[in-house]
Amino acid sequence: MRYLTLYAFSTENWKRAADEVGFIMGLVKQYLRDEMDFYRQNGIRIRHAGDAARLPPDIAAEIASAAADTRDFDGMQVILALNYGGRDELVRAVRKLQVNIEAVTEADIAACLDNPDVPDPDLIIRSAGEYRMSNFLLWEGAYAELYVSPKLWPDWQSDDLDEAIKHYQGRERRYGGIV
C-alpha cells in the first residue's frame, strides 16, 4: 500500500458541537506531533486534502509543518483529509481553472484537485456499516471498489484490514466495461 487517505474531518463536521470539534482538532495536532519520529523512521510522507484556509491557524500550521518535514520521504504517503469534502474540492478545482468552460476536460479538473499526483484509490473502506460515500473522494473514487465493515474505525485491527484487502483481491475490476 503506497497511498492511504484518512477522512479525519469533513466540511460538514463543523456542524458538530464546538467541544467535539475542538477535541478532534486537538487529536489531529497531538497525533501529528507525537508520531513524527515514526514518520521519519518509516519514511512516511504526510499530505493534506481539504481547505486549509478554513482550518484553525494552529492546526493549519501543524499540518503544513508535518507536510514540509516529510516532503522528501519516499515511503507510504498518508493523506489527511481534514476540512475535506468532495464537493468542496470540486468547487475549488473549478475555481482554479479560470478557462473557457467549454474547453474543460477531465484532465484539466483532475490537475486542479488537492493532490493531483496521487493516483485514484483502488479501494475505499467504509466503516460503521454505512453504505454511503459521505462526500469523500467523489471525483477520485469514481471507479474505486467499496468495502463496508460493520465495525467502527477505532475498533479496527490488522485482521480487519487483511479481510478488506482479501475481499478486494477477489473482485473483477471492469472500469465500466464488459468482460
Pairwise CA distance, residues 158 & 103, whole Å:
46
Q: What is the CATH number of the domain that holds 34?
A: 3.40.1180.10
Q: Does 178 map to a domain?
A: no
| Residue 151: closest CA among 164, 138, 136 | 164
179 has pLDDT over 80? no
What is the domain range of residue 128? Answer: 120-171
Cβ–Cβ < 8 Å for 3, 118 = yes
pTM above 0.75, yes or no: yes
* pLDDT, tens only, 83-115: 999 999 999 999 888 776 778 899 999 999 999
Cα–Cα distances in Å, from 24 out to 50, 121, 142? 16, 25, 28
The answer to whether 47 and 67 are in contact (CB under 8 A) is yes
With respect to residue 2, please indicate whether it lies within any of the assigned structural domains.
yes
Q: What pLDDT shows up at residue 2?
A: 94
